[in-house]
Amino acid sequence: MTNHETHTTESRLQRGIRALAQIDGEAGQKVVDSLADIAPDFATYLLEFPFGDIYSRPGLDLRAREIATIAALAAMGNAAPQLKVHIEAGLNVGLERGEIVEILMQMAVYAGFPAALNGLFAAREVFNHRDGLASAA
């Protein structure tokens, strides 16, 4: 389990920085940077607990973890910026666009059609942004 084998030698913070880069890429680093002037300790906690502790655990691969996160954030419906970051993260760890669309559609069953719709519109924004970057390259 690559995520886990260096646990003994790395600190939680180092492990979190590595996991954040792998999962959220630039979007994650932007969140961390944006905390610098208001709550720098919170940036540390964010790296240490969610990424250094939770996402670095063996027992569930990153693909499954992002399915869970996308579903939860779409269902709660009150964290649009984080949902977009994790749709991006889902693509980073190997989910296909069509799979993300399936997860979001399924949320209509558990959180209602508005939650599913708002999740799908967030996904469209992320996908279009990626396509724009690709065509601009």
Write out the residues near a second copy by the rule CB under 8 A. 31, 34-35, 37-39, 41-42, 45-46, 49-50, 53-55, 57, 59-60, 64-65, 67-79, 81-82, 98-99, 101-118, 120-121, 123-124, 127
CA atoms of 23 and 57, how far apart (whole Å): 14
Give the number of other Cβ atoms within 10 Å of residue 62's Cβ.
19
Smallest distance, a second copy to C-beta of residue 137, A: 21
Phi, psi of 49 (to 5 degrees): -80, -65
Contact 67, 91 (CB under 8 A): no
Helices 113-136 and 80-92, packing angle to 10 deg: 60
CA atoms of 50 and 44, how far apart (whole Å): 10
Smallest distance, a second copy to C-beta of residue 122, A: 10
Alpha helix ranges (H) inside the chain: 12-23, 25-34, 40-46, 62-76, 80-92, 97-111, 113-136
